Every structure is written in C-alpha cells, then in structure tokens.
C-alpha cells in the first residue's frame, strides 16, 4: 500500500500552482513540526529558510533525536521533500519549542509558507512525560498551557504575516491545539483562517464543545482519522469525522500517519470507523462519563506518580529501564494504587457491559 512518502515521490514534480494544496499536504506539514529545528529555523516569522536548506543543515549536523514514538520514516520524508519541486522551496520560519515542567507544558510549532499561503503546524505529543501529563490533563481541564501558547502563537502569526490566507493543523494533540488556537484567535483575524485540520486528534470537554467559539471554528474544521482511530475519538468533538482513512496497520498503531493509505492526491477512504474503534470509544466514553472532575484529576495524578517515582523524563527512559519501571509499582502511595486499581476495574466492567449488549 502507498503512504505519504509515496505521495511525495508521485506528486513532487508538481508545484502548488499546478496541483493545489490538499488533505495529504496537510498531513505532511503536520509532521514537520515534530522535527527539532532549533538552531536551524528562526523563531522569527519573517526570517525564512527554504525546506531544502533546512534539510541540508539538519542532515549536516547529523541530528536524529531518539524517540520511541516518532516514526523513523519522518526523516526519510524530510529528505524526500527536499528533493522535489513541490516542497523544496517551501519556506520555514517561526520555530518554537517549549517544555516547562513547572506548568506541565509541552509545545512546539513551525510556520510553513507556500504558494502565497501559510500553514501553522502545531506539534503533537512528543515522548516527554510532561507532554503526556498535559494530554491527560485535557480530561478535566477546559484549557492547558500548550493550548494557550498555541493561541498566542497564532495571534502573532496573524499580526506579523499580513493578508495571506492561513491554514492551521496538527497531528494528535497538535490538532487539538489548532482548534483551540482558532477559537481564541482575535476576531479581526478569524476571517483569514481558511481551514483547520485535525489529524486523529483528541477533543475537548463538553463545556468547550458547547461554546460559541467552538461552533464558529467547526464550520472551518476538517477532521481526518484512520478507520481504527482511538486517540481521535477521545473526549468530545461535537461532530462527525469528515474523512476516515484506510490504514495498513491496526488499532493504536494506526495513529502513525505513515500507515495511512494514499492514492493520487487524496487518502484511500474507508466506509466508516471499524468495530474495534467504535467499541473502544464506547468503553472510554462510558467510563469517563461516570467520573467527576475531581476523580479524573485524582486518577491522572496517580498515573503520573507511577511515572515520576522512576525518575524517568521521557518514554525512552522507561523503555531503557523496564525493570525499574515495574519496581515503581511498589513505590506508589497506597491511595494511588487504590485509585488506579479501582479505575482498571471500572473499565473492565464497561467492556463486559458493552459486549453483553452486542451479543
């Protein structure tokens, strides 16, 4: 099956004038924000570097950070883009990357300029535990620090890059940040937003979904998920997914955008979400609906107590010290062990209930 790298090879000789920006280009642009452009791409929105130049510098210093969740294909994608007419002269600017343990924030973004348009690409979750903690906080917070920084970033883009139409998007949490940024963008700038893309991204609390700001943004929103979506079904979205994509993998591995099937200038569409995705969504939604704000917060703190007693800073630390990670179970406070155990039991109960209803 073909994926986004195959698309780059197929369509790479076509400029954006010959073949307009499309849904697959959107997904490719979301992957660029996962790369560490520090020292390569300026934080200034008006100081550009072409993608080809960025690749030459990136590869020249041998940068290839370890990550247990970042697909290895992203580096091949970057190199492939640099060799095409379509992407080589795309301009990169405004790279920002912030990790703040005190405020539990993980945020990164890059501005992509092409064909008299700009695409604001917000990074999804990296393998830092702070990033994962912030994701979990979405289960009980109306906003998290990365969302607020995303809104500030978009407002700066609008102020400094005048007149050009703006596209916004991200993969995973990056899509959630995109929606929030569009919601909180200054009213005078909102008309310049052409589309907001979420790519298998978690949603929001119901209170956010019911807001006027969200309803305004939803008119410009394009939600893309794989047929076995799990992450993209979390929390509330207030609408159905626009594009459901076939994937060559299964369940959680479908969250990897390099498994999404591409043909021509679009994705290979599925008829709908598969049964496993629907069931996981039902189980998680039913379970979360029974937890109040305080219970959700307590569970999140218990889970991350488990992580922090190992002194791990990212997922790679855990993978490299599996035995230490298992020993951490014994270091958990009595309250945290009880909280985690209770919620695991509740999830098992929900699975049993849903299965019995379907039989």
Q: Is pLDDT at 79 greater than 80 in this prediction?
A: yes
Give the integer Cα–Cα distance in Å for 241 and 230.
13
pLDDT of residue 323: 47
pLDDT range class, residue 321, cuts 50, 70, 90: low
CATH number of 4-272: 3.40.50
pLDDT tens digits, one per residue of 184-211: 999 999 999 999 999 999 999 999 999 9
What 3-state class would DSSP assign to 281? helix
Beta strands in 182-307 (DSSP E): 193-199, 221-226, 243-245, 262-263, 266-267
Q: Is pLDDT at 316 greater than 60 in this prediction?
A: no
Q: Is pLDDT at 28 greater than 90 in this prediction?
A: yes
pLDDT tens digits, one per residue of 9-22: 999 999 999 999 99
pLDDT of residue 356: 58
pLDDT tens digits, one per residue of 298-315: 877 776 666 665 665 665
Domain ranges of the chain: 4-272, 290-358
Question: Which string of DSSP letters, residue by residue, matches 40-102?
Answer: TS-SSTT--EEHHHHHHHHHHTT-----SSS-THHHHHHHHHHTSTTTTT-EEEEEEEEEETT
pLDDT of residue 281: 84
pLDDT of residue 238: 87
């Amino acid at each position: 099956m073909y994926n986004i790298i195959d698309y780059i090879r197929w369509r790479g000789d076509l400029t954006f004038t010959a073949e307009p920006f499309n849904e697959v280009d959107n997904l490719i642009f979301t992957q660029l924000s996962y790369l560490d452009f520090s020292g390569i791409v300026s934080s200034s929105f008006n100081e550009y570097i072409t993608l080809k130049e960025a690749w030459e510098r990136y590869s020249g210093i041998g940068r290839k950070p370890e990550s247990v969740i970042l697909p290895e294909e992203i580096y091949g994608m970057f190199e492939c883009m640099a060799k095409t007419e379509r992407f080589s002269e795309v301009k990169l600017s405004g790279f920002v990357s912030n990790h703040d343990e005190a405020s539990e924030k993980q945020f990164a973004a890059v501005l992509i300029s092409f064909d008299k348009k700009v695409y604001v690409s917000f990074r999804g979750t990296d393998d830092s535990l702070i990033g994962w903690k912030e994701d979990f906080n979405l289960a009980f917070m109306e906003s998290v620090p990365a969302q607020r920084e995303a809104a500030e970033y978009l407002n700066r883009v609008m102020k400094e890059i005048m007149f050009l139409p703006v596209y916004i998007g991200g993969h995973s949490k990056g899509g959630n940040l995109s929606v929030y940024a569009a919601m909180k963008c200054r009213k005078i700038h909102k008309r310049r937003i052409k589309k907001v893309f979420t790519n298998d991204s978690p949603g929001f609390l119901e209170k956010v979904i019911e807001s006027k700001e969200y309803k305004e943004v939803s008119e410009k929103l394009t939600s893309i998920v794989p047929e076995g979506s799990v992450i993209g079904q979390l929390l509330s979205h207030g609408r159905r997914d626009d594009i459901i994509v076939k994937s060559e993998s299964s369940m959680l591995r479908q969250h990897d955008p390099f498994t999404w099937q591409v043909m021509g200038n679009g994705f290979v569409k599925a008829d709908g979400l598969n049964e496993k995705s629907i069931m996981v969504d039902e189980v998680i939604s039913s379970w979360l609906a029974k937890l109040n704000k305080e219970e959700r917060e307590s569970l999140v703190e218990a889970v991350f107590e488990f992580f922090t007693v190992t002194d791990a800073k990212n997922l790679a630390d855990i993978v490299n010290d599996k035995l230490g990670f298992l020993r951490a179970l014994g270091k958990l406070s009595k309250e945290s062990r009880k909280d985690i155990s209770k919620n695991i039991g509740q999830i098992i109960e929900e699975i049993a209930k849903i299965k019995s209803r379907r039989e």
